[in-house]
Amino acid sequence: MQHFLAGIEQGIGLDIILWFQSWRTDFISTLFKPFDLMGTETFFLVLLTLVYWVIHKDAGRRLVIFFLFSAWLNAFVKEILKRPRPFQVSESVKPAFTASEYGLPSGHTQAGTTVGLILMREIKKHWATALLIVYIFLMGISRMVHGVHFPQDVALGWVLGILIVFCLYKLDARLSGFFKGIRFSTMLLFTLGTAVVVLGLPFLTNPTREGLTGALTPGAVLVGVIPGLFLESKYVRFDTRGSILQKILRYLVGIVTALVIKEGLKPLLGIVNDHTLYMDALVRIVRYFALGMWLAVGAPWLFIKLKLAKREE
């Protein structure tokens, strides 16, 4: 497999990247720049919380879980395959920006495909479907235009995004029914099992520091989100409806606090962090687990206490 991939990277894959580079201008780079921004952690944090807290709770729940699993799987597969990016294969490739993690599959492409397909299914409007298809396609193209991914990286990102959405939607109805009928102790065991898998497996791939960061970040948020969603459905049950002012204030309170948790815990936990690989990993898990709990249940609970949201009838 490694020999096969190396042949593509040094052959037709590199040729395609150099072709894209041959007509890339400053204008073209600027035109595709938004797609780089629309594949970042911050962009998806804003988008997913906006849907979950303000627009439609069930759609937001699916977006959050599907996206986090997709991001975790992408980072995990990267560390297994350990494939370089185009500019690491040939000095002839001039990337628009640099990236330190491995290239296969493309994280931007996979995340864009996952989120785009979910939004298509939830919105169910022809105009939205058309726009989201264009978004998914151009997200992949932009990665090659910028010289940071081979075509096989992009293609695998598209394929994994499609498979994740297809498989998780098949499981969604069954898992939703399962969670409604279980006890809190069972949920704790399920969360523990999830934690062992998504937080333990990345350590078995001889990970780099960047690889652990890529896998543990969405993995830890997911481990926090799962019990958080269970607690929200049992004890909080907030309603996304409300006045425009309520929705605006609700979102501002939620996202500002999320950023405080995400960034504020870093220096606080830095007191005990000796910056070894495993201590860095533990601190990251704690930070992002807390963020996941806040997104799923902490913020909705506060919205109700501040009268920015009502309980579902």
Using one digit for the tens of pLDDT, what is the confidence trace for 2-26? Answer: 777 777 778 888 889 999 888 888 8
Residue 274 is predicted with a pLDDT of 67
The CA–CA distances, whole Å, from 186 to 94, 108, 290 equal: 52, 35, 21
Query: Which of the pair, 205 or 298, is modelled with greater confidence?
Result: 298
Q: Taking Cα atoms as reference points, which of 78, 74, 96, 76 lies closest to residue 87?
A: 96
pLDDT digits (tens, 9 = 90+) for 80-90: 999 899 988 88
Helix axis angle for 26-37 and 126-145, nearest 10°, is: 120
Euclidean distance between CA atoms 290 and 292, whole angstroms: 5
Residue 264 is predicted with a pLDDT of 84
Transcribe 21-34 into DSSP letters.
HHT--HHHHHHHHH
Alpha helices in the chain (DSSP H): 2-10, 12-22, 26-37, 41-50, 57-81, 86-89, 107-123, 126-145, 151-181, 184-200, 209-231, 244-269, 277-293, 299-305
Angle at 212 between CA 206 and CA 218, to 5 degrees: 140
pLDDT band at 307 (very low <50, low <70, confident <90, very high): very high
CB 39 within 8 Å of CB 111: yes
CB 107 within 8 Å of CB 39: yes
Assess whether the previous peptide bond of 34 is cis (omega < 30° from 0). no
Q: Taking Cα atoms as reference points, which of 178, 222, 163, 229 lies closest to residue 196?
A: 222
CB 240 within 8 Å of CB 80: no
User: Is the pTM for the entire model greater than 0.85?
Assistant: yes
Share of the chain above pLDDT 70, in %: 97
Mean pLDDT on 110-116 = 95
Mean pLDDT on 208-229 = 90
> Does residue 175 surpass a pLDDT of 80?
no
Euclidean distance between CA atoms 93 and 306, whole angstroms: 53
